[in-house]
Structure 1
Amino acid sequence: MDYSRTIRAAAAQISPVLFSRDGTTEKVLDAISSAAKDGVELLVFPETFIPYYPYFSFVQPPVLMGKEHMRLYEEAVTVPSPVTDAVGQAARTHSMVIVLGVNERDAGSLYNTQLIFDADGTLLLKRRKITPTYHERMVWGQGDGAGLQVLDTAVGRLGALACWEHYNPLARFALMAQHEQIHCGQFPGSMVGQIFGDQMEVTMRHHALESGCFVVNATGWLSEEQKQQIVTDEKLQKVLSGGCYTAIISPEGVPLCEPITQGEGLAVANLDFALITKRKRMMDSVGHYARPDLLRLLLDQEAWSVLEQSAGQSPVTDAENSPLLTTAPVPMSLTTEAL
């Protein structure tokens, strides 16, 4: 792994075009083009940005949200599709690594999906949020361990999680043990209020410190007009406010640019990989500071399927054969052993 390089990264705080897959895709392509003019090599978009985050499920009871849920089905992204082709082409044109959140439709189900495109336009990973949170469980299915991968990209070793997946310490550890150099976080933004933004800051800075990696975190943004489009009740409109923290954090837990908490914009910073070594010299939680003789993680990276064919199963990849990370077809759990 190269720790001598510096790359330029950006996180987009941006509003969707509500109820329009094509409209939001155009905003994504425009943002990529704009970021490229600033020399950006890695661009991270918010959670399920295309076509839009299902805010309706947070402010409507299940019995009333059928119409909006169906509309989300109609506008959701299939993979592959013209949407993924267009984003891949933009990544290739601008030699940019792109992390994009989408509502993915797979036949009769929707998923909270993170797509990672390399700088040559290749779709390297399609990963699904392993556990939708609270109201989201009425909208999305569950992902599996196949997406808990750290990838070799044009900008370094890159991992990603969505929103409250960051409160699953074993999911974070799975990426840490694969030696991520850049972690990409995605949140919906414009929800819950200031407390959500404050919690997000603590979470992102802690992961940077614990993992000894850079964190590039993107949140969405809703205008006042968009809140009114989602819900007419003024009290519920207030719930769709705050909760934004678009930022870039160093391995020492320090913001590398002014975080964005309101409005649209790009958080941009240069990532000097020498800071990773500087941090890990003191505390490498998956290296000299670990105790795999006492504690280690078992991770099932096999993709789920409702159909098992007798021809056999695809092999599970053990990323870099980390002594702290064992991949096996067993439920993910933390194990302790007596010496």
Structure 2
Amino acid sequence: MTEQRIVRAAAVQIAPDLDDGAGTLNRVLNALDEAAGKGANLVVFPETFVPWYPYFSFVHPPVVTGAEHLRLYEHAPTVPGPVTDAVAAAARRRGLVVVLGINERDHGSLYNAQLIFDADGALKLKRRKITPTYHERMIWGQGDGSGLRAVDTAVGRVGALACWEHYNPLARYALMADHEEIHAAQFPGSMVGQIFADQMEVTIRHHALESGCFVVNATGWLTDAQRERIAPDEKLRKALTGGCMTAIVSPEGAHLAPPLTAGEGLLIADLDMALVLKRKRMMDSVGHYARPELLSLVLDDRSAGPVRRSADLPSWSASDDADADQAEADAADRGSDQRVAVLRGPARRS
């Protein structure tokens, strides 16, 4: 009989400190203490919460946002650095698995990064959003496939995606194929209106059903004073309303607590991990319900960079050319395309 395992999850919906990244970090640490006090084992924060999501780029044209963009650079954390050290120490002290969204500064570029800390404080994953959306492309660089994976933690296998990455079915499938049990979803919140919240709910509930995993989704919140500060023009300010759907969803697609759609708060729910197997017994999208000989994913999971050094490249020998020639000849004899050879398994990593 499967041993019962319960994970208490917390999804955090709070406002950042728009003046100081250190102030936002303090809010993160206070939320971790509060969640731990309520018995949480896992805590998920909103998208790029530290130091703050770049709301300014959504309501103002790029030509007038230079100062705010530079200010974001000034407060954006590096990985590793003092911010990650502080969160790691809190995770270790409280025995928490933490999923934190940050604006990561890497020399002259910013990235939308998701960090997963284990309960012992170890940083198990740093991934970057693979395609920033719309206005975000003026703010962040693009990530790579190295972060499209789940990691083992004290609460189970955890994967993460940010915002509209959930509209990329292949990105989601990469995490499914890596057998995530808990999916951390992060959105900015306080944007676009009710339609954004509605779309978000559909998206996370569908992923829970399709992946057969729990989804813990956190969205951010802006106070009225913060909205007015970002957008003094009332017409523009309307674009910074609604769009909050902090929620915790079971592998059967059901809310485990009423979602938080306005205001600051901590959403808590207990995850009965036996529901993962219960769902997958019926429909395992990367197992008995998959057809890898017909449909599969090829994923380049190498870390990308501006320079690839010779030491990182595969060695070459004359036999490599001979093997390639023979494979091509065999494929021609079969009357097939050689590319068929890589389309095996639900997700093949290069």
* Class of the TM-score when normalised by the shorter of the 2 chains: over 0.9
| Alignment-mate amino acid for residue 239 of structure 1 | A
What are the equivalent positions in structure 2 for 1:102-121 lying under 5 Å apart?
Answer: 102-121=102-121
Amino acid across the alignment from 1:166 = H
Is 1:7 aligned with 2:2?
no
Please tell me whether the aligned partners of residues 19 and 52 of structure 1 are also in contact (alpha carbons under 8 angstroms): no
Equivalent residue runs for 1:108-147 within 5 Å: 108-147=108-147
Letter paired with 1:46: P
Q: How does 1:21-60 map to 2 (within 5 A)?
A: 21-60=21-60
Task: Please state whether the residue corresponding to 1:159 is helix, strand or coil.
Answer: strand
Shift of 1:238: 1.2
1:195 counterpart residue number: 195
Partner of residue 209, structure 2? 209
User: What is the Cα deviation at residue 149 of structure 1?
Assistant: 1.2
Change (3 A) 1:40 1:230: same
Quick check: 1:323 aligned with 2:342?
Answer: no
Relative distance call for 1:3 and 1:275 in structure 2 (3 A) is farther
Provide the rounded CA distance (Å) in 2 between the counterparts of 1:144 and 1:157: 21
Q: Conserved in 1, the CA contact under 8 Å of 2:293 and 2:345?
A: no
The answer to whether the Cα contact below 8 Å between 2:8 and 2:268 also exists between their aligned partners in 1 is yes
Q: Which runs of 5+ in 2 are unaligned?
A: 315-343
Q: CA deviation at 1:310?
A: 1.2
Query: What amino acid maps onto 1:274 in structure 2?
Result: A
Mapped to 1, the partners of 2:302 and 2:163 lie a distance apart of: 23
Name 1:334's counterpart in structure 2: none
CA distance in 1, matches of 2:263, 2:23: 19
Q: Return the offset for 1:4.
A: 3.9
Matches within 5 A, 1:148-187: 148-187=148-187
- The letter for the 1-side match of 2:67 is K
What do the CA deviations read for 1:64-86 (whole angstroms, capped 9, x no partner)? 11111011010111111111100
SS at match of 2:216: strand
Equivalent residue letter for 2:349: T
Task: Say if 1:14 and 1:264, in contact at 8 Å, map to a contact too.
Answer: yes
Change (3 A) 1:4 1:296: farther
Deviation at 1:313, TM superposition (A): 4.8
- What is the one-letter code of the residue matched to 1:229? R
Q: What is residue 256 of structure 2 aligned with on the other side? A: 256
Mapped partners of 1:4, 1:157: distance in 2 = 16
- Equivalent residue of 1:74, what SS? helix
Report matched runs for 1:77-96 at 5 Å: 77-96=77-96
Give the Å deviation of 1:3.
Answer: 7.1
Alpha carbons of structure 1 residues 5 and 323: separation in structure 2 relative to 1, 3 Å: farther
The corresponding residue for 1:228 is 228
1:18 partnered with 2:18: yes
Shift, 1:281, TM fit: 1.3
Higher helix proportion: 2
Residues 275-305 of structure 1, C-alpha deviations (whole Å, 9 max, x = no match): 1111111111111111001011000000001
| DSSP 3-state at the match of 2:312 | coil
- Please, which moves more after superposition, 281-290 or 96-105? 281-290
The CA distance in 1 between the partners of 2:19 and 2:147, in whole Å, is 27
In structure 1, how many angstroms separate the alpha carbons of the residues matched to 2:110 and 2:199? 27
Q: Cα deviations across residues 160-190 of structure 1 (Å, max 9, x unaligned)?
A: 0000000000000000011100000000000
Contact 2:49-2:100 within 8 A present in 1 as well: yes
Contact 1:110/1:139, CA 8 A, preserved across alignment: yes
SS at match of 1:26: helix
CA distance in 2 between counterparts of 1:167 and 1:3 reads 35
The answer to whether the Cα contact below 8 Å between 1:297 and 1:326 also exists between their aligned partners in 2 is yes
Alpha-carbon spacing, 1:3–1:239, altered in 2? closer, same or farther (3 Å):
farther
Q: Deviations over 1:223-242 (max 9, x none)?
A: 10000111210111111000
Q: Residue deviations 1:7-59, cap 9 Å, x none?
A: 11010011000131100000000000000001100000000000000000000
Aligned partner letter, 1:323: G
Cross-structure match for 1:332: none
Residue identity over aligned pairs, in percent, reads: 67
Aligned length: 320
**SS of residue matched to 2:244:** coil
The runs of 5 or more residues in structure 1 that have no matched partner are: 315-321, 329-339
Root mean square deviation of aligned Cα: 1.2
- 1:3/1:170 CA distance change after superposition, 3 Å: farther
Q: Which has the larger radius of gyration?
A: 2
Letter in 1 for 2:242: G
Give the TM-score of the pair, scaled to structure 1. Answer: 0.93
Aligned partner letter, 2:264: E
SS at structure 2 position matched to 1:195? helix
User: TM-score, with normalisation over the residues of structure 2?
Assistant: 0.90
